[in-house]
Structure 1
Amino acid sequence: MARYQAVLIDRPEGWQPNSFDDVPYHPGPPGEVLDEGEAFFDVLHTAIEHNRCAIDEGNKNWAIVVDPEGEGQLLAHGRVCTPLRYQIASIWWPSGWEPQSPLDVPNCVCREQNAIQDKPLNYEQAVATMEGLNRQAIDRAGAYWYVIVAAENEPISRKVTFEPPCLQTTVEVRRLHIAEPASGGGRGNCEHCPARSVDCPAVPEAG
């Protein structure tokens, strides 16, 4: 499992971030490590909270999340994971599972997921879209449930192939995270799940 770090960089003069997890186009070398661990959203939360304070206090340091063992193009060493790109994916409604809120995320997220839109969303847009779609699913007893998929910034692998006479194919593999909204959601009710005696893996909470 990957280990993540929240590291400090110098905030470029005049740079205006679009979000609290944004990254400058040319980030400087990473410095102090604020947090480290395998729980991605915990490390992300540390970075975001630092950046909130940095903007309020005029601090010149900015925190980004990196995979120190990965390879990317933005840093000499490590792969930059922020900013995240959010999309909404449909999953099969788990058998016996009952949501308590349209923002609930079941522990048994089906592997077969389909993104329902191509354009990435910001976090607030993703939460609002998930809530609206799941309200419809509850009202109409749909077969699908909708969750937020967060894609890391730099891919873990990238392959470019050329085919004559004039075709180029690029394949990028990015690590994804299923995020539970930080407020208003939960796990739902699994009392009627046919596999309720089996331990379920926890779904992380978004920052």
Structure 2
Amino acid sequence: MSTYQVVLIDKPRDWTPRSSDDLPLEAGVPRGELGEFPQLFAAFRHAAEYNEQSRSKNGTQWAVVVEKGAVGKIWQGMRICTPLEYKIAAIWWPMGWEPDSPLDVPRCVCKAQGAIQEEVMTYRRAIAVMEALNRQAMDGVGNMWYVIVAVEHEPISRTITYDPAGLQTSVEIRRIHVVQPVGSAGFGDCSHCPARAMDCAWLTESLNESGSMCP
């Protein structure tokens, strides 16, 4: 099981972060630790809150979320997870499920169910796109529903191969997280699900969409 850690780095003097989970090109080395968390978004919120305070007070340090004990590109023994990238994924509309709002995420959503769009978005834009697409799905007749996935920064693994023609093929494996927006979304109505007596494979994590913590 992954353990996420929030570490501190020195913030470059001339660097202006684009979001509360941004990462400078020259990240330096970790200078300290703020805590460990079993879930990515718990670590994300902790780091984002620290960074917002650092920005408002012209602090000299910046928080970064890493996976402890993993292989990364920059730091030994840790893989950098922020900044996160947000994308939209299309999933099959679960049988017997009905949404209460266009931001609902069904409990039975599976990471392997749908196709992920290539476009990278800010979190707020991803929310707007998800809401618009799902509102159309609710108003019409369709078999697809849309959710937000967060993609971690550094890949879990990267493989490079070369063929006799001199062509290079790179394959990266990245960890993704299905996001359930907090505050304006729920799980929808599962009362007509044919498998409602069974436990759901709940694979989403909650990400606070209020305030300035969101990129």
What is the TM-score when the length of structure 1 is the normalising length?
Answer: 0.95
| Cα distance in 1 for residues equivalent to 2:159 and 2:75 | 19
One-letter amino acid matched to 2:129: T
Counterpart for residue 21 of structure 1 = 21
Amino acid across the alignment from 1:17:
P
The answer to whether the aligner puts 1:114 opposite 2:126 as a matched pair is: no
- Look up the match of 2:171: 171
State the one-letter code of the partner of 2:179: A
In structure 2, give the amino acid aligned to 1:26: E
CA distance in 2, matches of 1:137, 1:195: 23
- In 2, the alpha carbon distance for the partners of 1:201 and 1:44 equals 23
The answer (yes or no) to whether the contact 1:99–1:187 under 8 Å persists in 2 is: yes
Instruction: Determine the C-alpha separation between the residues in 2 that align with 1:201 and 1:49.
Output: 30
User: Which consecutive unaligned segments of at least 5 residues does structure 1 have?
Assistant: none
1:1-207 alignment runs, 5 A limit: 1-110=1-110, 111-115=112-116, 117-202=117-202, 203-207=204-208
Conservation of the 8 A alpha-carbon contact between 2:109 and 2:201: no
For the residue of structure 2 that corresponds to 1:62, the secondary structure is strand
User: Residue in 1 aligned with 2:211?
Assistant: none
Instruction: State the one-letter code of the partner of 1:124.
Output: R
Cα offsets for 1:48-76 (capped at 9, x unmatched):
11111111111111111001211111223
Query: Which stretches in structure 2 are left out of the alignment for 5+ residues?
Result: 209-215
Please report how far the alpha carbon of residue 161 of structure 1 lies from its aligned counterpart in structure 2 after TM superposition.
0.7
Measured against aligned partners, the alpha-carbon deviations of 1:126-174 in whole angstroms (never above 9, x if no partner) come to: 1111010000000003100000011100000000111123200000000
Which aligned segments of 4 or more residues in structure 1 are displaced greater than 6 angstroms?
none
Normalising by the residue count of structure 2, what TM-score does the alignment of the two structures yield?
0.91
| Rounded Cα–Cα distance in structure 2 between residues aligned with 1:6 and 1:25 | 18
Q: CA deviation at 1:30?
A: 1.3
Cα RMSD of the aligned pairs, angstroms, is: 1.3
Residue type of the partner of 1:139?
A: D
- The size of the alignment, in residue pairs, is 206
Whether the 8 Å CA contact 1:87–1:121 is kept in 2: the answer is yes
C-alpha deviations, 1:146-203, integer Å up to 9, x for none? 0001110000000011112320000000001001113311111111111112122442
Find the residue that maps to 2:169 and give its secondary structure.
strand
> Cα deviations across residues 36-94 of structure 1 (Å, max 9, x unaligned)?
12211111111111111111111111111001211111223311001111110000111
Q: Percent of aligned positions with the same letter in both sequences?
A: 48
Within 2, Cα distance between the matches of 1:39 and 1:201?
Answer: 16
